[in-house]
Amino acid sequence: MGLMTRNEYIESLGRMKKRVFIMGQEVENLIDHPLVRPSLNACAMTYELAQQPEHADLMLTTSNLTGQTVNRFTHLHQNTADLVIKVKMLRLLGQMTGCCFQRCVGMDALNALDSVTYEMDRAMGTGYHARFRQYLKHVQERDLVMNGAMTDPKGDRRLKPSQQADPDLFVRIVERKPDGIVVRGAKLHQTGALNSHEIIVMPTQTLSEEDKDYAVSFAIPADAQGVLMIYGRQPSDTRKLEGGQRDLGNREFGGHEAAIILEDVFVPWERVFMAGEYAFSGLLVERFAGYHRQSYGGCKTGVGDVVIGATQSLAQYQGTDKTSHIKDKIVEMIHLNETMYACGIACSAEGKPTASGTYLIDPLLANVCKLNVTRFPYEITRLAQDIAGGLLVTLPSEKDFANPKTGPYLEKYLHSVEQYTTEDRCRMLRLVENLTLGPGAAAYLVESLHGAGSPQAQRIMLRRLANLEEKMRLARRLAGIGNHREKQ
């Protein structure tokens, strides 16, 4: 089949029979639903850009499995250049959509599974790696969107999966059959699930022998029997149902999250990549998290570019762009954004090959990248709100501008710099509102904080990877403290 166009991608979703609930109602026509369509448009941009010659170097590459041209979102990284290009691609998409475009998690899951299944086979004599690569050929040949599903509900965080009062609070194997397994449970916070062709499930944490039934990884069609999705709400989401344009801010693109319920779903063995090998659960989580923490150095800086551009535009529309403190705040926003990007590039350039040949980012620098991402977008949005002013949250609705009794007053009293229209100013205010307070903030801020692990997860990895013993040895040498002291 090869590469899909934007329209072919949308048509392929229309042929699927997903079971989805949105605001209490079961929905059959997802591709035209006003709450879903903005996120569909964002994901479709990964196909649209791939068809444009000027973006081919970023969006397309050659498969190491088939030798065919594939979308980079289905590719296994073959060198550090691939890792660097990935970050640049994600920044471009963030710039083009101003939101989450939903294919990163699946790409990161594919790359993590490739190296982990190889090492698992080598250590345990299993046959997962060849099975996984055969599955990946299927993904590449059809240019599919993968939804990477890692986060379980977790129940009582003090208890292990097998100790929970309800054993289904972590996805688990409930039955093993000659031709496959049956799984049950749920995955939360699933970005772009409604727009995906496939779901790749992974364990959510390091597991021990008593929890081996929870050490499971597999791929299923997003409309497989027993799969149910429940759409998550976002701030100001009902504006998409009002039929207007100006109050949306980002009028074409958006993101979404969903809870995925797995009610006794059958998975054939050829789609199973881990089934009880608990000793490798932590490695899979760690590899996936490393790739995904790298991803944030690209996508969030792309959205940050839009936030900075919108804020600078507002300063011009309002006549404050030449003020020294406004200039300083814009420069600070740029500094923070480029620092995140620099970390994404650095962890990519320092990547190394795994045993399977697929390249892995430098895990220490990837965690530095993501820890910065948990902080810097919040400061960027604070500065954006500072420059925007109070009208950001007191601006009347689009309907008030359309009302002949109130519209002329608003046009008169909200006008600012002569060469810009009141509508220009209002549209830009709504875009900043969307990105810093509204549905866009769900992806730019909360996802920056919790996606790919909360800040504490990165701190734990930094402590583990920093090699403090070596740093102390360097200090002792310079201080003239001899080897006899080191041995104490």
Catalytic residues, by residue number, are 100, 104, 191, 257, 292, 296, 299, 447
End-to-end Cα, the chain, rounded Å: 65
**Rounded to the nearest 5°, which phi and psi values hold at 144?**
-90, 155
Retrieve residue 402's tokens: 């359309």
CB 207 within 8 Å of CB 161:
yes
